Amino acid sequence: MSQTRAQKSTVHVALFPSSGMGHLTPFLRLAASLAAEEDVRVTFIAAHPTVSLAESHALSSFFTSFPQVIPKQLCLLPLNESSSDTDDPFYRHYEAICASCCLLPPLLSSVSPPLSALITDMSLLSAVLPISRAINLPNYVFFTSSARMLTLFMSFHRIFVAKAMPGSQDNEDVIEIPYQEPIPVSWFPPPLLEEEDNFLKNSLTQNGKSMIDADGILINTFHEFEQDTLTELNSTKMPRGLPPAIAIGLLPPANFGESHSHPSAWLGDQPVGSVIYVSFGSRTAMSREQIRELGVGLVRSGVRFVWMVKSKKVDQEDTEDLEDVIGQNLAMATSGGAANGIAVKRWLNQSEILGHPAIGGFLSHCGWNSVTEAVWHGVPMLAWPQHGDQKINASLVRRAGIGIWEESWGWGERDAVKGVEIAERLAEMMRDEWLKARAATMKEAARAALGLGGLKALLAEMRPSGARLDG
């Protein structure tokens, strides 16, 4: 009898992320949180092969740490390259995953006990929904960016169809988002403003439209950080039938992957809160000119730094020596401790570094995972968005009072920002006591929100006889 009761109350969730560390990392964190719950089984579906080495390292290290999570591989079908409308390796990989979703049905039905629900990456939703619907499997979406970005994601297809984009309305400096706060045109990911069709526009249109058919939308955020947007998203003003937007964060930012690469010896010798960590995430390749100007700015600022240098989008192509990228003099000065910081050209465990007591600031592109890690560790930010959703995320950092954002720097790949300007902003951010205090307050709020909200309610809904969620 007791075994039957236990089997009945067990929830079995399958997770299915898209390509890139920006998507895989929050899915792994979600899997870790779910696996820690009683009576929850987790199956993790990972596309094989991965696009970057960082992803394959993270997956193998995760499955070693969580043997109770069931690994499933979706072996990718070859992609017809001539029909692709992007040359971004991460987007190509994402297209290959979408095209291989036809392999999901036998995989989903082969797991035991039978699945209670599937949690799908927002960029795979339109490919996966017909499959989950056909087998009556509840399908939740994990939106791996901010709630504010979600408002654009869900509305883009309507704005676009209504021809409200700036190409058709000159001199508009904001774009109305139905039922939400308008978003300045300059914060839109640039491909969305192009006249021509492109990969990002198509992806947002299809997946944004599909959101209405999801059972719920999970977001790695918390109420104190995105209160207004979360309230609006779940308000009765929203068109009927929209699934609840569920704040499940912040998920504790464990990093799975290489952990040996931590410059702890150098960091351990630095005063508390004195070092800025500089990184633009896992897939931003800055121009050579911009990298050199950044190096000049870091040295000139006099602020201590740890700089993760990256010159290619995909890690296995990032084979140049550090000195070829930043120049011999700077490479020598920043490897031996002669300069005010160190530069490395390899994967670093970012979340671990941000949690080091010596770290007092973060120069970041504002990928959503980076923002959540900075908030979790109470580290003030200098935001320098490079592409995609990052200006929208930077606006949240600024609004929360935990960072500064020099909007005139624009997107990456434009005219290089000069080192002297970078130095000024770095120094300004590091001496700002107000930012420090706000970041400390937000850190406390993030930790207090842990375990309060979304995940438990979500699991309750997934159990047989579960109650409906209302966000």
Residue ranges that bind ligand UDP, judged by CB under 6 A: 20-22, 25, 94, 123, 145, 149, 153, 189, 200, 203-204, 207, 255, 279, 281-284, 308, 347-351, 367-370, 373, 387-389
- The token pair at 143 is 């939106």
3-state DSSP: the chain helix, strand, coil percent, rounded to 5? 45, 15, 40
Q: Do the Cβ atoms of 294 and 278 come closer than 8 Å?
A: yes
**Is the Cβ of residue 234 or residue 351 nearer to ligand UDP in the bound state?**
351
Number of neighbours of residue 302 by Cβ within 10 angstroms: 12
**Phi/psi at 13 (nearest 5 deg)?**
-115, 135
Residue 364's DSSP bridge partners are 279, 383
**Is the Cβ of residue 41 or residue 148 nearer to ligand UDP in the bound state?**
148
The DSSP code for 467 is P
Amino acid at 118: L
Amino acid at 440: A
Rounded least distance, CB 124 to ligand UDP, Å = 8
Rounded least distance, CB 7 to ligand UDP, Å = 36
Which member of 23, 57, 157, 356 is catalytic? 23
**Is the Cβ of residue 12 or residue 22 nearer to ligand UDP in the bound state?**
22
Rounded least distance, CB 157 to ligand UDP, Å = 11
**Phi/psi at 40 (nearest 5 deg)?**
-120, 125
Rounded least distance, CB 263 to ligand UDP, Å = 12
Rounded to 5°, angle at Cα 378 from 343 and 438? 125
Cα separation of 89 and 240, whole Å? 37
For the CA atoms of the chain, what is the radius of gyration? 22
**Is the Cβ of residue 11 or residue 397 nearer to ligand UDP in the bound state?**
397
**Is the Cβ of residue 261 or residue 335 nearer to ligand UDP in the bound state?**
261
Q: Do the Cβ atoms of 46 and 71 come closer than 8 Å?
A: yes
Which member of 57, 88, 121, 215 is catalytic? 121
Residue 39 bears catalytic tag: no
Q: Do the Cβ atoms of 396 and 225 come closer than 8 Å?
A: yes
Q: What are the residue ranges of helices labelled H in 250-349? A: 264-268, 288-301, 322-326, 328-336
SS3 216: coil
Cα separation of 335 and 470, whole Å? 53
Rounded least distance, CB 368 to ligand UDP, Å = 5
Strands (E), 365-443: 381-383, 403-405
Residue 121 bears catalytic tag: yes
Number of neighbours of residue 190 by Cβ within 10 angstroms: 16
**Is the Cβ of residue 180 or residue 279 nearer to ligand UDP in the bound state?**
279
Cα separation of 413 and 347, whole Å? 22
**Is the Cβ of residue 100 or residue 282 nearer to ligand UDP in the bound state?**
282
Q: What are the residue ranges of helices labelled H in 10-83? A: 21-35, 53-65
Rounded to 5°, angle at Cα 307 from 433 and 226? 50
Amino acid at 353: I
Q: Do the Cβ atoms of 246 and 471 come closer than 8 Å?
A: yes
Strands 174-177, 180-184: pairing is: antiparallel
Residue 342's DSSP bridge partners are 306
Residues assigned a catalytic role: 23, 121
